[in-house]
Structure 1
Amino acid sequence: MSTDPDHLRHPTASTLVETAAGAVEPTPVHAKRRGAGRNLPAAIAVGLALGAVVLGALFLLPQAFPVLVAIVMVLAVLELTRALAHGGLRVPAVPLLVGVTGMAVSTAVFDVEGLLVSTAVAVCVLILWRVSESMGLTALRDVAGGVFCLAWVAFLGCFTLLLFGQDQGPLLVLLAVLGPVGNDIGGYVAGVLFGSHPMAPSVSPKKSWEGFAGSMVLGTAAVTSVGVLALDLPWWAGVILGVVLVIVSTCGDLSESLLKRDLGIKDMGHLLPGHGGVLDRVDSILLAAPTTYIMLEVLLP
């Protein structure tokens, strides 16, 4: 390594720069290669496999789609309970898993009414289960954590089943999935190639405004294309829905990143190589599904 003082005073684009607070941050040129640490071949392979499973359940074996949703939600809830344990919350897993399964079955059979009733029953069972173990402030915190699990994963996730139960349901679910997928792919590619202005460095250092622009382009294009060509939506409705889904997906990513940072963990799990856990993969879809359901009711009642 050179010991030339000029080299130290004038670092090249590939060197690191000391911030005023003493932290080390990458220069803009180095920031373009922030995705290099990700296991990209594994991420692509797993992503293609997941896409094949979802498309097969939607269009080839639709009877299996509610089962797939229930399995994904159960795995995501298990990951979330383990993550909350890092924050000192002892959320009982058994009533949660029973509640998640019941919510999925009730939604698939009885639609919106089934989701509302089963959610209320699941919350009551969770409260009674945890309070029967012990009383006190810790029990209240644990119950709050359990309700959070049910609300975030199970309640929002069941909107995929509500979409699936409508006319052209598989295409509506595909619409809700394409927004987050386009958001992830477009954001990753644009961020790696051009990213130099962090969007929320204190929450997710790898997210950049350039990546967000890529997310907006690809996510909106994907949603609009499927909406117009497959669902006969007006082009303006497809554009509006695509833009909203990208924004919501980005908020979902940042929200989970903030939660993981507060809990002191990197990923919710390690089940999916290159992606992390199941919840890391579906966090955006959990917000995109109810958004799609509501936006279609508003735009095309």
Structure 2
Amino acid sequence: MPAIRPADSRVTITGAEVAAEAAGIPVPSPTVDPDTLLPHWTEEPTGQMPAVLKRDEPVSTDPLDQIPAPVWREDETDYTVHDEQIGQIIGNVESVDPLDVELDDVAVAEVPVVEAPRPTPSRAERLRQSDQKLLKNRATRTAPPKDIRKATVTGILAALFVVGVFLAGPIPVVILVSAALAAAIAEIFAAFRSAGARPATLLGVLATVALALGAYNRGEAALSLVSFLFIFAVFAWYLATPTKFDMLDGLGVTVIGYIWIAVMGSFAMLLISPVNYRDRHGLAFLMGAIIVTVANDTGALFVGRIFGQRKLAPTISSGKTVEGAIGGLLTGLFFAVVVLPQIHPWNIGAAALLGLLVGVVAPLGDLFESLVKRTLGLKDMGEVLPGHGGVVDRIDGLIFVLPVTYYLVNILNLG
């Protein structure tokens, strides 16, 4: 109930006149409705509630102020009206929560899902993936035993063919060597392509044939010239090719194949070149290298199968044994000192030295090819020769023997 001031003209405060007069406060005459007068405190109580004067109050903006004051409820129906009123008030209050939003279901056109472009993997990542692929291939790689009968028949026929070509003269030998080197480098590039590399196959084959013919006609001078032109052409080849693959891998395997087959194989042409050796002595030198290498490979095969116990290089080739390598060296040395002195201008000393060198170098050629095949997850480089695999499988040791034979002949001045 609001407080009533003494100067309020609407009421008469009974019993206060004496105090007001004593204090010197003038008391106005009352002009109030008798119904609103408060009884004197000395009068008997009437049992009625005091009247509350109505006054203007400021309008509140708080919606909760519209809720009625607490009331006494005895029945369940007493809660209904009040609860509905509270619900309406709360429902009209604007929420400040940004997540308190009712969204209508609006038909939206379905947007097709487009796969985000994948970033190009780095070279290190590509090498890691390539290594994993090669290791997987290596794990599933099988090496069934060779068919000895088929390999023997193929070897005898190949030997007769080669002897006939040598007897025919230098030109057929040049054609045979050029064709063998071209087929060998084509096999190697095909193996590299199966592993994901992109060698310049056409350039490699053409450069191999050009280097072989150049070595026969011009000697050692052709090696530097053709090799320079080849490297220059390979750079231009990859610069002109759209970059859709790893250029370093392609360039690397192209150069490796060229050095391995073309450069080292061209020493066969240097041995038979008329520029270096006249009177067909070069054919004798090349024939000696072939005879001792074949004897070494054959001895290593049979001795290794019969007596082989200790692996020569278990991480590279599971078929090469120490006993086989020793057997190959002794077999090659035997054929060298027995057969080669019968071919002019070989002598027994030079033949024995060649037999020892072949016993060391030929296994290196075998192991290098085995390392390449194991890295690529291959059993053989090809299937041209039944029982032997591809051309590279047959001449892998000879490729390493040719440079050794050439420099041995020059050092001993046999020509």
Q: Is the 8 A contact 2:293 2:401 kept in 1?
A: yes
| Distance (Å, rounded) in 1 between the aligned partners of 2:224 and 2:161 | 28
- Aligned-pair CA distance for 1:66: 0.9
2:290 is aligned with 1:182: no
Distance 2:350 2:192 in 1: 39
Find the partner of 2:271 among 163, 178, 196: 163
Deviation at 1:298, TM superposition (A): 2.2
Q: For the residues of structure 1 that align with 2:233 and 2:320, how far apart are their CA atoms?
A: 39
Please state whether the residue corresponding to 1:37 is helix, strand or coil: coil
Contact 1:179–1:249, Cα closer than 8 Å, also in 2: no
Aligned residue for 1:270, secondary structure, equals coil
Partner of 1:96: 204
Paired residue type of 2:373: K
- The sequence identity of aligned pairs, in percent, is 27
Structure 1 counterpart of 2:305, one-letter code: V
**Residue 36 of structure 1: CA displacement?**
8.6
Give unmatched runs, 5+ long, in structure 2: 1-142
Instruction: For 2:344, give the aligned amino acid.
Output: L
1:223 to 311, 336, 348: 336
Q: 2:158 aligns with which of 37, 40, 50?
A: 50
Structure 2 counterpart of 1:265: 378
Which one-letter code corresponds to 2:387 in the other structure? Answer: G
Measure the CA separation in 1 of the matches of 2:412 and 2:245: 45
Is residue 294 of structure 1 aligned with residue 382 of structure 2?
A: no
* C-alpha displacement of 1:131: 2.1
Aligned equivalents of 1:224, 1:240: Cα separation in 2: 9
Distance in 2 between residues matched to 1:186 and 1:96, nearest whole Å: 34
The answer as to 2:228 corresponding to 1:150 is: no
Q: What residue number does 2:316 align with?
A: 203
Q: Which residue of 2 aligns with 1:285?
A: 398
Residue 73 of structure 1 corresponds to 181
Question: What is the rounded CA distance, in whole Å, between the counterparts of 2:175 and 2:350 in structure 1?
Answer: 31
Alpha-carbon distance change, 176 to 232 in structure 1, aligned in 2, over 3 angstroms? same
Deviations 1:215-238 (A, max 9, x none): 011111222334423235443332
Partner of 2:236: 128
Q: Counterpart amino acid of 1:207?
A: K
**1:86–1:264 contact (8 Å) kept in structure 2:** no
Rg comparison, structure with higher value: 2
Deviation at 1:60, TM superposition (A): 2.2
- Partners of 1:175 and 1:216 lie apart in 2 by 15
2:361 equivalent to 1:248: yes
Alignment TM-score, normalising by the size of structure 2: 0.61
Q: By percentage of residues, which structure has more helix?
A: 1
TM-superposed deviation, 1:163: 0.6
